[in-house]
Chains A and B, each alone.
Chain A
Amino acid sequence: MSRPQPSMPPSVLRESLLPALRRLLPASAVLDTEEDLRPYECDGLSAYRCLPGLVALPDSIEQVQAILRLCSEYGVPVVTRGAGTGLSGGALPHASGLLVSLAKLNRILEIDPLNRTATVQPGVRNLAISEAVTPHGLYYAPDPSSQIACSIGGNVAENAGGVHCLKYGLTVHNVLGLKIVTIDGELVTLGGKTLDSPGYDLLALFTGSEGMLGVIVEVTVKLLPKPERAQVVLAAFDDLEKAGNAVAAIIAAGIIPAGLEMMDNPAIRAAEDYVHAGYPVEAQVILLCELDGTNTEVSEGIAQVRELLTNQGATEVRTAKDDAERLRMWAGRKAAFPAVGRISPDYYCMDGTIPRKHLAAVLKRISVLSKEYGLQVANVFHAGDGNLHPLILYDANKPGELERTEELGGKILELCVEVGGTITGEHGVGMEKINQMCVQFNSAELTQFHAIKAAFDPHGLLNPGKAVPTLHRCAESGRMHVHGGKLAFPELERF
């Protein structure tokens, strides 16, 4: 079981909280019928579902404060939801709790072109920020694949990444200020438009805290100048190791690509069938390497990268002729998940990070596991920053296949930890990877996490049961902390 649930008689939700919410919010902003609650039963990880007890849709900071004060008073668990695109079940509702949707807090509050900041409400979509600041020649750098739909509040809660992380960082590197509401209903400002703030870096602590410490109600992001030019090179390889060496060679040459993505053969084929990006379908691996900067810098860099790729044994090196071709090359990569969705009834997306040098060995091990479980795996890889997304193809209608898929997924994540990586690069722990947390962290570390949580939320009302497992749960799940790669898979010790 998950962490102990806050004690609260079941009647409290409907008999005490519901009438109080109705007094506080307009009728349309409090949902309590099954029909209205149904759309909120899951986030982007639809394998996990739970009908929330109630849903509230505040449209001001004051309403969020009042809602949290009520939940504190009645001891009701609170799950915060942004756009619901998360992939780890972080916004999975609580059956006897309140789901707070921040969808109505969707206004851009201020754009400050000279300071290069935008202050927005949490429900603003990631891409909407860049669109709004385009007239100033600026943009917001982190670009998770779901950026058309995902909200900035959710991005902060998950510390979202994207394909440009190696050069431009994660959400944590691009957020300057937050306003958060504590479980007591107190509004706290962290950071602002300055580059640092006195005291502890609570901004960093809140980024990626998965709704466990407070509710984010306002975000000030850093904006960057749009690069003068971006150019992409596609390279095909007949061997995984050669592709891995090519990535290392680019980095060793002192080049930091804006994006450096890798896809294996099953992913290439699926993407090509879907968007006709012009990918070489016979290749074992393709690399997409994008450089951006001033015109001069990009020209110089592209020539250098082409030479490096050729020297590393690429079977084909292709530079996008124009922006249309560049976007087509990216379209294949960005559509890799739905493309895989077309060739399999269901797929399960994993999110481990590994030190890049172990890539070839890890992919080989994944292919062994894939055969062992009889489940096909396609791999897309943020090669620049080591973030691996194996997509496990399965059919939920076949009895036992989801369970086998989850077990295979768990094995892949544990493998990532074993080679010195992590169970989640950018999707978060949420509900999904709660058991693998027991592998990555020992009990003293988990206890420290719980102490941090208790400093902000002493009664454990915020997103209970997520992100950090109880020690009891770890003992029950039978998973063990891996000590520096000393357990299992002896063949891995050779690299």
Chain B
Amino acid sequence: MNETDISTSLAEIVRDAAAARTPLAIHGSGSKRFLTGDIDGAPLDVTGHCGIVSYEPTELVLTARAGTPLREIEAALAEKNQMLGFEPPHHGPKATLGGTIACNLSGPRRPYSGAARDFVLGTRIINGKGEVLKFGGQVMKNVAGYDVSRLMAGSYGTLGVLLEVSLKVLPKPAQEITLTFQMGADEAIRSMNTWAGQPLPLSAACFLGDTLYIRLSGTDKGVRAAHIKLGGEQDTRGAAFWQELREHQLLFFAGEVPLWRLSVPSAAPFLDLPGKWLLDWGGAQRWLRTNANAIEVQSAAEASGGHAMLLRNAGRSKPVRPSTMVASHLARELRHAFDPSAIFNPNLSLA
């Protein structure tokens, strides 16, 4: 296990860059580059800042440096029969904690346990002035000061360099089973949302082709009782299915057709767009392979109360972010408050 603290030298680089107004492209292993496209600037490699700083299983809290590989964190947790509750996608063998939090990436468990941002308890960051700042902490409840730690999640490095993250962790469920049901999309959307409104130990729900996949997690007896209530066939390949879904390794994700992600209210009716669909997160995250034009896809997502993003376009161009960004002037002011010299990932716009 590699443990190195290079925060001092990282802060120095940032201070120099701020003074010279040199753009920096913050990166970990590069596994999430498909989400951002190429970033202009001198590379700032955070992978050297790594290691688990503390892990207290009975406090349900782990703190690690941003460059720590997710794999290492998950292995340490597994030893104590615990896990990251947001089931993060890795998208690469060397995926780091910092990149995962910076992109706020969450897996199939997200609707039932929460997103990456929900598990962030505290952070240590370098702001655009090169100052090392600490926000939040290692306790579940903390309302002192603005919630900068959660703001860091999903800010793609545009507000600061993540140095350290404290996360709430969860016990691994004693039992997990996957059930499958044959049905159409409309019925699947209705079923996923109806069941989510009932006291059932759901931990994932996905519709692909003509199959609804439901994962149940909990105690052995609890899971069995829910199986009897719901019916369905038990899929012995279940664990592999959810992992392949999380990592975009299902056949659905292969090939050259552009891949869109639509974030919509989970019970939103099936959208009438051409292409192939995969409905994850109980209907709240919908993947679409389509050649339809961007305006058509984005308008459909917005009409149903959500938004759409083009992630993979056969490697030909940058991702297309949602057309309407929220409160762009507030976002610009906020970014300036953290990074007055505009050095962090400058060509990445979240406003």
**Interface residues in chain A, defined as those with a beta carbon under 8 Å from any beta carbon in chain B:** 112-117, 136-138, 158-159, 161, 165-166, 169-170, 172-173, 182, 188-190, 192-202, 204-205, 207-209, 212-213, 223, 225-228, 248-249, 251-252, 254-256, 293-297, 299-301, 353-357, 382, 384-387, 420-429, 433, 437, 440-441, 444-445, 448-449, 451-456, 467-468
Q: Is the CB of A293 within 8 A of B337?
A: no
Q: Is the CB of A207 within 8 A of B200?
A: no
Q: For this complex, into which size category does the number of interface residues on chain B fall?
A: 35 or more
Q: Which B residue's beta carbon lies closest to that of A160?
A: B143
B residues near A192, Cβ cutoff 8 Å: 265, 305-306
Q: Which B residue's beta carbon lies closest to that of A443?
A: B131
Q: Does B212 contact A (CB under 8 A)?
A: no
Q: Is the CB of A198 within 8 A of B201?
A: no
A-B contact pairs, 16 of them (CB 8 A): A115-B266, A116-B197, A169-B118, A195-B111, A198-B322, A201-B153, A212-B146, A225-B198, A225-B200, A228-B199, A251-B57, A293-B218, A300-B219, A355-B56, A445-B135, A455-B333
How far apart are the CA atoms of A444 and B138 in the complex, in Å? Answer: 20
A residues near B57, Cβ cutoff 8 Å: 251-252
Q: 10 closest pairs, A vs B, by CB?
A: A254-B171, A204-B150, A425-B141, A297-B222, A385-B140, A455-B333, A193-B265, A451-B337, A248-B58, A114-B267
Provided the pairs A294-B199, A355-B59 are in contact, do residues A448 and B148 lie with their beta carbons within 8 angstroms? Answer: yes
Q: Which A residue's beta carbon lies closest to that of B129?
A: A444
Provided the pairs A225-B196, A420-B137 are in contact, do residues A195 and B115 lie with their beta carbons within 8 angstroms? Answer: yes
B residues near A386, Cβ cutoff 8 Å: 59, 139-141
Q: B193: shortest Cβ distance to chain A, in Å?
A: 5
How far apart are the CA atoms of A248 and B58 in the complex, in Å? Answer: 5
Q: Is the CB of A354 within 8 A of B139?
A: yes
Given A213-B146, A468-B145, 18 other A-B residues pairs in contact with their CB atoms under 8 A = A112-B267, A194-B284, A195-B284, A198-B324, A198-B350, A201-B154, A202-B331, A205-B151, A225-B198, A249-B58, A297-B218, A355-B61, A386-B141, A421-B137, A444-B131, A445-B133, A445-B145, A448-B338
Q: Is the CB of B281 within 8 A of A456?
A: no
**Number of inter-chain CB pairs below 8 Å:** 273
Q: From A114, A353, A456, A468, give the contact of B193 (CB < 8 A).
A: A114
A residues near B171, Cβ cutoff 8 Å: 251, 254-256
B residues near A252, Cβ cutoff 8 Å: 57-58
Q: Is the CB of A137 within 8 A of B327?
A: no
How far apart are the CA atoms of A313 and B242 in the complex, in Å? Answer: 42
**Interface residues in chain B, defined as those with a beta carbon under 8 Å from any beta carbon in chain A:** 56-61, 81-82, 104, 110-111, 114-115, 117-118, 127, 131, 133-135, 137-148, 150-151, 153-155, 159, 170-172, 174, 190, 193-194, 196-201, 218-219, 221-222, 224-226, 263-267, 281, 284-285, 305-307, 309, 321-322, 324-328, 330-331, 333-338, 350-351
How far apart are the CA atoms of A427 and B267 in the complex, in Å? Answer: 35
A residues near B201, Cβ cutoff 8 Å: 293-294, 297
A residues near B336, Cβ cutoff 8 Å: 455
A residues near B330, Cβ cutoff 8 Å: 182, 188, 202, 455-456
Q: Is the CB of A194 within 8 A of B263?
A: yes
Q: Is the CB of B143 within 8 A of A426?
A: yes
Q: Is the CB of B114 within 8 A of A197?
A: no
A residues near B307, Cβ cutoff 8 Å: 194, 197-198
How far apart are the CA atoms of A226 and B284 in the complex, in Å? Answer: 21
Q: Is the CB of A198 within 8 A of B309?
A: yes
Q: B186: shortest Cβ distance to chain A, in Å?
A: 12
How far apart are the CA atoms of A202 and B326 in the complex, in Å? Answer: 9
A residues near B115, Cβ cutoff 8 Å: 195-196
Q: Is the CB of A356 within 8 A of B59?
A: yes
Q: Is the CB of B265 within 8 A of A173?
A: no
A residues near B199, Cβ cutoff 8 Å: 225-228, 293-294
Q: A278: shortest Cβ distance to chain B, in Å?
A: 28
